[in-house]
Chains A and B, each alone.
Chain A
Amino acid sequence: MSDGIGARVKRKEDKRFITGKGKYTDDIRMENQAYAAFVRSPHAHAKVTGIDASAAEAMDGVIAVLNGAQLTGDGIGNIITGWAITSKDGSPMNIGAWSALATEKVRYVGDAVAVVIAETQAQARLAAEAVDVDYEELAPSVSTAKTLQDNQPLVHDEIANNLCFDWEIGDEAKTDAALSGAAHITEIELTNNRLSPNAMEPRAAIAVFDSAEDHYTLYTTSQNPHVARLVLSAFYNVAPEHKLRVIAPDVGGGFGSKIYIYPEEITCLWASMKTGRSVKWTADRSEAFMTDAHGRDHVTKARMGFDDTGKIVGFKVDTIANIGAYASLFATATPTYLYGTLLSGQYDIPAIYGNVKAVYTNTVPVDAYRGAGRPEATYLIERIVEKAAREMGRDVADLRRTNFIRAFPYQTQVLLAYDSGDFDTVLDMAQKAADVAGFPARKAEAASRGKLRGLGYSCFIEACGLAPSAAAGSLGAGVGLWESAEVRVNPVGTIEILTGTHSHGQGHETTFCQLASDRFGIPVENVSIVHGDTDKVQFGMGTYGSRSGPVGMSAVMKALDKVEAKVKKIVAHSLEASEDDIVIEGGEAKVAGTDKKMAWHEIGLAAYMAHNLPEGMEPGLKETSFFDPVNFSFPSGTFICEVEVDPETGVTQIVQFVAADDFGTIINPMIVEGQVHGGVTQGIGQALLEGVVYDDEGQLLTGSYMDYTMPRADDVPSYVIGHGCTPSPNNPLGLKGCGEAGAIGAPPAVINAIVDAIGTENIEMPATPQRVWAAIQATQMPVAAE
C-alpha cells in the first residue's frame, strides 16, 4: 500500500500551513474579547514594595489592573514542578514559591507583577507601562558556576546557597577505585550553553469564562493540553477538570518550551473570571526571549579513566545545572533522569558516578529544550572520548569501537537498560558516507588555501518514548507517561484517530494516518486525526521526548488491533466464514481462498446498521487503547561533521555533515529526514551560533534577533542522511523516536571538528568566530599564508 508504513507520504497538514490557512491561537477571535498586557520586572532581583495602578486604571480602554495579592487571595495556587528529586543525603529538593504574579519579590527580568486587561492590545500595553511599581533593588545571583558560593545573594530567602538539590547517580566508591587504577585519565571542564527556544509562533492564550456554567475554555499554545488541564485544575485551582476545557489548536513549534503551564495562561483564566471578559494574550518576540523557559545551562567537570588497551574503566561527572529563578515543570527531571542516566553513552563503562547540583539564579526558568538532558550528556561524553583519543594517540573512531556496547539488552551503571542497537554498523555507514579515508587529502587542499579543516564525530544514544509510568513514578514523576488512542471507523468507512499526543510541527496528521492506511489498505486521505482538545480526546500526556511514535503510535496500533478483531468477526459473520480465514488488505476484507469479500465501507456500514451482527456484539466500530511501554526506546546514531575554519576571521564553515541514525522502524522517511534536518540545524545552532547572555546585573543581553543568533539556511550545509535499523523490542512497531536526535548528536560533532581543525580543546559553545579566532591566537599557530 503506497500510503502505508515506510511510504514518503506528503504532509497532509502542509496545504493549510503553506497557504497561510493554519489556525493558531492568535488567529482566534472571541466575542467580548479583551487583551492582557503584563507588567514585568525590569530588575533581576528586587522586593516589590508597592504597586500604584491608579494612573493605568484611568487610561482609555482599561478594564482592570490585577496583581499577585489578588490572585493568591482568590486561591490560585503556586506553580509546580512535576518531578520530585531527592538529594544524596536523603533530603527532599528545595522548591521556592512561584506565584503566577509575583507578590513580595521579583526574581528575574520579566517576572510578572501585574496584568492590565483592556479593550485593545495597544491600550493594554500602554497602560501596563503606566503601572507604577516600587522596587527595592537587591543584588542578583546570575552565574551558574558561582551561585552556590556562600557570598551569593539568595534567590529564595529560605533556600540556602541557592541549592535546589544535590543529586547523585551511580557508584562513587567503585568509580573512584576504577579511576585510581586507570592507566590514563582524561579530564575536561565544559559549559553547555544556555539556549532560547524560539518557536516560530510565540506563546499565546485566550481564556473564556462562562459565568452561566462556571466553565472555562482555554485556547493555548500547548504541547500537552490534557496535562495543562490537569495541572490548572489540580494545583492552580482554576476550575475542576469537567469545568475546564483546554484547546491547543495549530501550534507553531514548541521544542519543549510549550510543555509548561506558564504564569500567563493561569493569569488569563483568572482574569477572565474577574472581568467577565474573554482575555487574550499573545507574546511578542521580546517577551518570548525574556519569559519562555530557556534550555541547557550546565557547568561540568568530568574525568574518564582508561586501561592500557583504551577500554574505559570509569567515568566521574560533576555538574552544576542552572534551573533559573523557579523550578519549572520538567526542570528537576531534565538534569537528573534525562541526563545522569545517559552517562554511559554507547560505551560499556563498568563504573560511573554522576553528581548534579541544581541551582537557582536570577534568570528565567530553565527547562527541557529539544533533547532535554540528553544533549548535555552526549556533549560531555563525546567531547571527553575524543579528547582522550587525542591524548592517547588513538584514532577517535577506533577508541569508540574499543568501547562499544555490542550485546543487548544492556544494563548500564546508571539505571537504564538499552533495548537494541548496532553501533559498529552505523559508524561504518557514517564513515563511508563521510569519505573519512579521503579526509587527509581534503585537509591538505584546504591548507593550500589557508584554511584549517577538521573532522569530528559524535556517537550518541538517547532515551526516548517517555516513558514507562511505573518507572517514572518510582523516580519521582508526578504523572504517568502512557498514551491513549481511539480509532473511530465511521459508517462510510472513513477513520478518525483520536490521540493524546499533540502535533506542533511533527506531521502527526500524516504519519498517524499512515498506520490505519497500512493496516486496512485504505487511502491516507480517508483517515484523519483529532488531537489538541480535552473535550474531544479521551486523555493523553502530549508530545515531548520523542514519545508520539513509540508511545502514542503504539496506543493507536493497539486500538487498531481491536478494530481489526471486531471487523473480522463482523465479516466472518456476514460471509458465513471463519474469523481465522478473514484477510484485510487493499481496502477490503476477504475470505481466504474464496472470492467472497466485503468492501471496507460495507464493513463500517454493517457495524453501524447493526442489522446483522454476531449475537451479543455491540453495534459501532470504535475502539480505545491506553498504552504504557515497558521501557524507554533508545535511538542512536553517528554524526560526522567536517569543518573548514578561516584562521583570519575565526569563521567556521560546515562543509559536510553526515547523520547516520538508528531510529528503529520508520513510518515516513521524508518526515523523519525533516526531523533530522531540523534537529541537526538546532544542534549546529547550539554549537556555533546560539547563546543566551545575561550580564552581571541579570539583564538579558540577547533579547532579540539582533543579538541572539538563530541558524539561517546559509549557516548549514545540505545534510547527508543514512539510516540503520534495529527495531525497538519495546513497542509493537519497533519505533525508537527521531525528534531530538539531531539536536542531541550534532553539537559535539561540530565542536570536535573545530578542535581537530584548530588544534586546541579550549573552545566553548557557541564557537563564534570571535571565540575560534581567539582560541587560534592562544595557540599561537602561525596565521595561514595569504
Chain B
Amino acid sequence: MYAANYHKPSSLADAVAALASNEDAKVLAGGQTLLPTMKQHLAAPSDLVDIRGIDGMVGVSVDGDMLTIGAATTHAEVASSADVKAHIPALASLAEGIGDPAVRHMGTLGGSIANNDPAADYPSAVLGLGATVVTSKREIAADDFFDGMFATVLDEDEIITAVRFPKPAKAAYAKFPNPASRYAMAGVFVAQTGGGVRAAVTGAGSDGVFRHTGIEAALSSDFSPDAVDGVSVDAGDMLSDIHGDAAYRANLVKVMAKRAVAAAG
C-alpha cells in the first residue's frame, strides 16, 4: 500500500471540505473494496476521508412506510435490524448474504452503492425498491443514481449520507453466486412497489445493475414465477467471463427472477 493521509472528520461539512481540498482524496467507509485495491497498488488515493465518525451516518429509522438507513451502516447491522426485518425482510436477507461475516461487519450500504461494483448485491435492492439516495448535496432517485459499471452520478466531493427505502408490498432477492468469489453472477431483486413492479438485475449485465423491463412487464400482469417463462432475456446485454458466458447469465437472470418471485410469495 502506498502512503495516504487519513482524515476522520466528525461532521459532514468537514468531510466534504477534506474531499474538496485534496484532489486525489477518497471516501473511506467500510473499506472492503478500497483497502484491498490499495494493498494491491491498484489504487493510490492521496487522502482517505473516513466518514464513520460522523453523527447520523449509522443506523436505521422508520417513518411510516419509509425506511431510512444511514450510509455508514454495516451489512451486519442491516441484516440484524428488527426494523429492516419487519418492513423489508428481503433487504435484511440480502444484507445477510453479502460476502462473509468479516465483510458484513465492516462493509457499508453507502460504500457498496457508491462503488457500484457490477456484481454487488445492494445496487439491485436500491434500484429494485425504487429507493432514494440522500447525499451531502441532494436527493437522487435510484433510477438516476447508477451510471454503468463502477460509476454513479455522484460528484467527486459528494458524500452519500443515507438511503430511503419505501416499503414494498412484496419483495425478494435471489442470487446465483460466482463459485469462486461468491459475488452475484446473477442477482435479481423483484418488488411490488407503489410505483409498480420492479425487477433489478445485478451481476449479469454488461453495464452494471439494470432494470429488466420484460420481466417487469410480465410480472405486472401476473406476479408469479411462471410469468417469467415467456420473457426473453437478451444475452447480448450480458457479461461473459471464465465463470459464465452471456447465454448462461441470461438463463440465470430468468431462473433467479423466478426464484425471487417464488420467495416473495
Contacts and interface: CB of A to CB of B under 8 A. Distances in A.
Interface in B209-256: 225-226, 242-245, 247-248, 251-252, 255
A769 interface: yes
Contact of B255 (A649, A708, A710): A649
Interface stretch (A3-11, A205-213, A404-412, A698-706): A698-706
A672 interface: no
A705 B258 contact: no
B74 to A, nearest CB: 22
Nearest to B1: A122
Contacts of B176: 649, 769
The 3 closest A-B pairs by CB, nearest first: A709-B180, A706-B181, A709-B179
A286 interface: yes
Given A649-B255, A773-B251, A786-B225, A129 B41 contact: yes
A192 B33 CA distance: 35
6 contacts: A126-B2, A129-B41, A648-B251, A689-B179, A693-B242, A706-B180
Contacts of B252: 649
Interface in A118-148: 122, 126, 129
B40 interface: yes
Contact of A768 (B179, B181, B255): B179
A707 interface: yes
A126 B3 CA distance: 11
Given A705-B180, A707-B181, A648 B242 contact: no
B226 A786 contact: yes
A773 B186 CA distance: 15
Contact of B243 (A649, A707, A710): A707
Q: Which residue of B176, B179, B242, B247 has the most chain A CB atoms within 10 A of its CB atom? A: B179
Contacts of B258: 786
A774 interface: yes
Interface in A672-718: 689, 693, 701-702, 705-710
Contacts, number: 47
A702 B241 CA distance: 11
A770 interface: yes
A705 B247 CA distance: 24
B248 A705 contact: no
Given A649-B252, A649-B255, A773-B251, A708 B244 contact: no
Contacts of A689: 179-180
A702 B176 CA distance: 20
Contacts of A126: 2
Contacts of A774: 247-248
Contacts of B179: 689, 709, 768-769
Contacts of B41: 129
Interface string B174-186: 0010011101000
Given A706-B183, A707-B242, 4 more contacts: A129-B41, A648-B255, A768-B243, A773-B251
A286 B181 CA distance: 15
Nearest to B119: A706
Contacts of B181: 705-707
B73 to A, nearest CB: 25
Interface string A637-649: 0000000000011
A328 B248 CA distance: 38
A199 B226 CA distance: 46
B178 to A, nearest CB: 8
Interface string A707-749: 1111000000000000000000000000000000000000000
Nearest to A689: B179
Contacts of A286: 40
